[in-house]
Chain A
Amino acid sequence: MTREVVAKASEVAPGTSKVVTVKGREIGLFNLDGDYFALANRCPHAGGPLCQGRIVALVQSDEPGHYRLARPGEFLRCPWHGWEFDIRTGQSWCDPNSTRARAFKVSVEPGATLVKGPYVAETFAVSVEEDYLVIELAG
């Protein structure tokens, strides 16, 4: 596992997403009320750019003709076929057991701690006192 600095925490405001390229892979970063999540920008259904989809609430219903929104901002709809994925876990809502977007562990680390380690990114030179998003990648 390697830890990669991918963006400043301030670049991903709550309710928004940002797609970054890390070691040749596109990864979408998400901020749910201050908690950060990262998903591969590749829909497990048919390879679409998942993280370019709309961030949505979960539509639920107790009976036909009744609709409500739950968990606002916690779901991603793939921009191709519209499959819904839980941003926190990468699980497909319709097929939770066998379809899951690749999720990456994200942590927020102060720049001051990161500059000491072996992984130094160019952005550090700008302001080391800011927080950065760090994700874990296999290999």
Chain B
Amino acid sequence: MKIPYPGAIDCDLHPAMPSVAALMPYLDEYWRDQLANRHIDRYPFVLTSYPPGAPLSARPDWRQPSGAPGGDLDMIRRQALDPFGSSLAICNVLHGAVALFNADMAAALCAALNDWVATELLDREPRLRASIVVPVHDPGLAVDEIERKAADRRFVQVLMLAMGEMLLGRRLYWPIYAAAERHELAIGVHAGSTYHHAPTAAGWPAHRVEDYVAQSTAFESQLLSFLAEGVFQKFPALKLVLIESGFSWLPTLLWRTGKTWRGVRPEVPWIDRPPAEIVRERVRLTLQPVDTPRHDPQILARTLAHIGSDRMLLFSTDYPHWQFDGEDVLPEGLSAATVRRLMIDNPLETYPRLRPAAVAGDTVGDAARQEAVR
């Protein structure tokens, strides 16, 4: 189903990462020296999770003859923003720096990347917003980067990968959440792995397609980690967004966690209400990939009923990843009210920093609201 009216907020857009050469002006002299002398600047920092040639990584009509998909701002406008009438889009740049073990190098590249995003994307296209990319495995350096970029309110989120060093709810990471909460930034956990662990409890599967399908189990584990460790109690204003996660797995997690909690509550006594209530209030998931069958809208409807909330899904294209064809970005069978919620209301509720732009003098957003009322 096509987007019915303009004004959507795309919560997962992937401009291509810049080359190291493009990042050089944003690095200090030590890193410029090191990257050049050690030939590190000849490497593309591609994440294993998204091999450039794989069908999932880019839709054929979104590839260009030269340059990476999502690497051209005009193409992003023409292919990702305009066709869907998006009023805003959050850029989640996936960069391999986060998989480096040297956290200092990772931090330097992340900082350069964030500065590049601000200059090359946000300054040039007013509809764009972004996530702050940080070296999660060194929480101190991650906090430094959050503090450095937080004043630019076009950054709305802190970005992490679903499979990293440790489960993300752990207290080691709490300084990151404290900083994010302080600055009204959401925490965005995106599909992908640094592969610092085997992706499954039984080791390393042979195929990429399986690693990708298995991401849902990583999201389950991460969500449960945030919940069990009490992140939602410790940081009462923090919102967690699961990005490119799918959502068909969510009912099982809600049901099982609730059941087990009733029996093991004294282990985690800071969880003071049913886990499903906490999740519905504090956790969001982006729309793509829609992992219920497209041919059967009834299954989607029942899955949403099992999830028990219409506030959790956030519109996304996941451009240029290949999750749908043509302009068929919405699954069939959603009610008009649900469509309105996921296109506009849910993203605004989730990302406090989106709100000023959407409220003041934003004619695109206004048109969307009028259209919806009609």
Contacts and interface: CB of A to CB of B under 8 A. Distances in A.
Contact between A and B in the complex (any CB pair below 8 Å): yes
Interface of A: 45, 59-67, 81-84, 92-95
B264 A94 contact: no
Given A64-B171, A94-B262, A94-B265, 18 more contacts: A45-B262, A59-B265, A59-B266, A61-B270, A63-B230, A63-B270, A64-B229, A64-B234, A64-B270, A65-B230, A66-B270, A81-B263, A82-B262, A82-B264, A84-B265, A92-B262, A93-B265, A94-B261
9 contacts: A60-B269, A61-B270, A63-B234, A63-B270, A64-B234, A65-B171, A67-B269, A82-B262, A95-B274
Interface string B159-175: 00000000000010000
Contacts of A63: 230, 233-234, 270
Contacts of A59: 265-266, 269
B234 A81 contact: no
A94 to B, nearest CB: 4
A83 B262 contact: yes
Contacts of A93: 265
A82 B263 contact: yes
Q: Which 6 A-B pairs have the closest CB atoms?
A: A64-B230, A82-B263, A61-B269, A59-B266, A61-B270, A81-B263
B374 to A, nearest CB: 41
Contacts of B269: 59-61, 67
Nearest to B269: A61
A75 to B, nearest CB: 10
A64 B262 contact: no
Nearest to B265: A94
A2 to B, nearest CB: 34
Contact of B233 (A64, A67, A81): A64
A65 to B, nearest CB: 7
Contacts of A64: 171, 229-231, 233-234, 270
A65 B231 CA distance: 11
B221 to A, nearest CB: 18
A60 B267 CA distance: 10
B236 to A, nearest CB: 11
Nearest to A60: B269
Contacts of A65: 171, 230
Nearest to B259: A81
Q: Max chain A CB contacts within 10 Å: which of B229, B233, B261, B266?
A: B266
A83 B270 contact: no
A108 B131 CA distance: 67
Nearest to B230: A64
A94 B272 CA distance: 8
B322 to A, nearest CB: 40
Nearest to B258: A94
Given A64-B270, A67-B269, A83 B263 contact: yes
Q: Max chain B CB contacts within 10 Å: which of A45, A59, A94?
A: A94
A137 B238 CA distance: 51
A63 B261 CA distance: 17
Contacts of A92: 262
